[in-house]
Chains A and B, each alone.
Chain A
Amino acid sequence: MATKTHEIRDPIHVFVRLDSDERRLLDSRPFQRLRHIHQLATTFLVYPGATHTRFEHSLGVMELATRIYDVVTTPANLLYDSARAVVPRDDEYKYWRRVLRAAALCHDIGHLPFSHAAEKELLPAGYDHERIGREMIEGPVLRPVWDTLKVQPQDVAKVAVGPDKYPEPLNTWENILAEIIVGDAFGADRMDYLLRDSHHAGVAYGRFDHFRLVDTMRILPTSEDGSAEPSLGITQGGLQSAEALLWARYLMFAQLYLHHVRRIYDVHLKEFLQQWLPGGRFHTDVEAHLRLSDSEVMSGLRDAATDPSKPGHEPARRLLKREHYRLVYEKNPADQERNRQSTRCVYEAVAGEFGPAAVRLDSYPAKSGSVDFPVYTRNERIESSLDMSKTLKEIPTFGVDYVFIDPSLREKAKDWLKQNRERIIPANGGTGDGVA
């Protein structure tokens, strides 16, 4: 039984509190490893302040998720029968609160070194960080913690990874809890990373009024065309906070997450890892995962960068000595109007002229910025957020396509591209089929 409350100072939430049973999770190997996983991978090489880790982010997600849980389950805030029916009572209510807090702490424990930077290419088919995290939550390493907390590991895993990544279907209540953590509109994960990344990187755009937003969150039936399915929404009073959050996301992607130097660093990092890791891939077993963090990879990078005989010397040198490939082309509206495959055309032409080894293509597919969620209006109706807010409907999409080139060839390539642009990007107004 928990005997004590522990307080941890936090730059975003001031204090994060947890009890001595939860402290066991905090002290576990999987969670302590997060101290050595940068929240924003190599971004600190571009924005020097961005050295924060997934350790404090996960604490922040727990704090926010708990606040949301407490607000949306307060009896006075349960405005509809379908919401009242789905919220458990008494001991079960307390049980799920514990599950939610544990899941929030654990939602990132499966992250590889440098997080998303190279996940897809360096894991076997069918694996991602959510699967590794789930296997760790449900495996023997954390079993004693769950026994102490008296929660079922499967419940924690479901809520931590969400319906898209858990192999079994989640019921309505479990889906709502997962939405509190990893929800697309205003999950605690998103709220915390925007606020925290903004704070540490020194990019002000990530801020929004999260206090107001959390206070206005409710479990609401979507009321879409007769459906009573409950999900997370807000009251009308929170609409501007939600608009601010979704704009913050757009701006942070534009300014920080898709910054072209950060993107090429990820490319060089992936190339390094393919040469440096035994077999060119990450292992998926829990012990190997726990042994490897950013610290070990960083040490390998520094070692390889100065020694040409070491595997991965070339990409390590490019990454750490700022000899990274330089941007020579990025997708733009004028070229897109001319030819939807403009980036692909440029990449193939530049690679043909200067050799494929000197050129890199990087793409982040365009995503819509607008999100639909239920809003409880002042005249006591449920309406779609996109009906209620022109701002939410108009949030721009974000996505990038970049072509990079060896720094020694940059000026030559730029001149060549300028002279041959008309030929390289034929005007056909066609529809791209890869990079668009």
Chain B
Amino acid sequence: MEWLERAGLLLVMMRRLREHESWCGETHIQKAAYFLQELLRVPLEYRFVLYKHGPFSFELRDELAGMQAEGFLVVQPMGYPYGPSLREGPAAEVVLKRYGKQAKAYRKQIEFVAAKLGDKRVVDLEKLATALYVTLEGRATGQERAGRIHALKTHIPIEGAQTALAEIDRMREEAEPVAC
């Protein structure tokens, strides 16, 4: 996928997230993109590593910065206790018009992610996304996964990790990934 196609898809995803009550900070976009790519197989082609609030793509961060530079996105401070929100910028409509159609092929997957994550707070997103990350690593199974989450992200207590894992297991059963 070319970067402008991705930009169009991200803008569509952000609209859907907002429809589901998301305030759309970078964490929401990062985690939603992670679920889209890793759980639902939408070929965004980002590399995710464990970093800020869980799985994080430095490439996606650069692209979001590029989207700001091009006027597709603007940063809007939200005030305590939120971080800055990313909103559509003056040039967003042009991208959506020209490249938003690409997102149609992944409408179901985008809707799934927006419905599952849209109303989540950052504190919940980091637990859920880290739970998916640890699950997909395949190193730890069952209850061991909660221990691994806590070892990697010490501020996430074992009980919180267990709740997130249960939710992730349900989500994996419900998810309909893109056919290969």
Chain A residues with CB under 8 Å of chain B are 82, 85-86, 163-164, 166, 169-173, 175, 221-231, 340, 365-368, 370, 372, 381-384, 386-387, 393, 397, 399, 429-433, 436
Contacts and interface: CB of A to CB of B under 8 A. Distances in A.
Given A226-B81, A370-B68, A386-B83, 15 more contacts: A85-B154, A163-B56, A170-B51, A172-B152, A225-B83, A228-B123, A228-B155, A229-B126, A367-B66, A382-B80, A383-B79, A384-B83, A386-B77, A386-B84, A430-B98
Count chain B CB atoms within 10 A of each CB in A172, A386, A431 and give the residue with the most: A431
Contacts of B175: none
Interface residues of B, number: 46
Contacts of A397: 65, 68-69
A366 B7 CA distance: 15
A221 B81 CA distance: 12
Nearest to A385: B84
Given A372-B26, A387-B77, A433-B2, A171 B123 contact: no
A224 B27 contact: yes
Nearest to B70: A436
B53 interface: yes
A-B pairs, 10 with minimum CB distance: A226-B123, A366-B69, A368-B65, A169-B50, A225-B122, A397-B69, A224-B83, A387-B77, A386-B84, A164-B58
B84 A225 contact: no
Contacts of A340: 70
Contacts of B83: 222, 224-225, 372, 384, 386
Contacts of A171: 151-154
Contact of A381 (B52, B66, B80): B80
A393 B83 CA distance: 13
A230 B4 CA distance: 34
A172 B69 contact: no
Contacts of A433: 2-4
A230 B155 contact: yes
A30 B98 CA distance: 50
A225 B80 contact: no
A384 B77 contact: yes
A271 B3 CA distance: 27
A418 B153 CA distance: 58
A166 B58 CA distance: 13
Nearest to A225: B122
A169 B91 CA distance: 36
Contacts of B2: 433
Nearest to B67: A368
B155 A229 contact: yes
Nearest to A340: B70
Contact of A372 (B84, B91, B133): B84
B140 interface: no
Nearest to A388: B77
B62 interface: yes
A224 B82 contact: yes
Contact of B81 (A170, A225, A365, A430): A225
A159 B66 CA distance: 27
B70 A225 contact: no
A227 B26 CA distance: 14
A370 B75 contact: yes
B118 interface: no
A326 to B, nearest CB: 27
B69 A368 contact: yes
B104 interface: no
Count chain A CB atoms within 10 A of each CB in B53, B91, B155 and give the residue with the most: B155
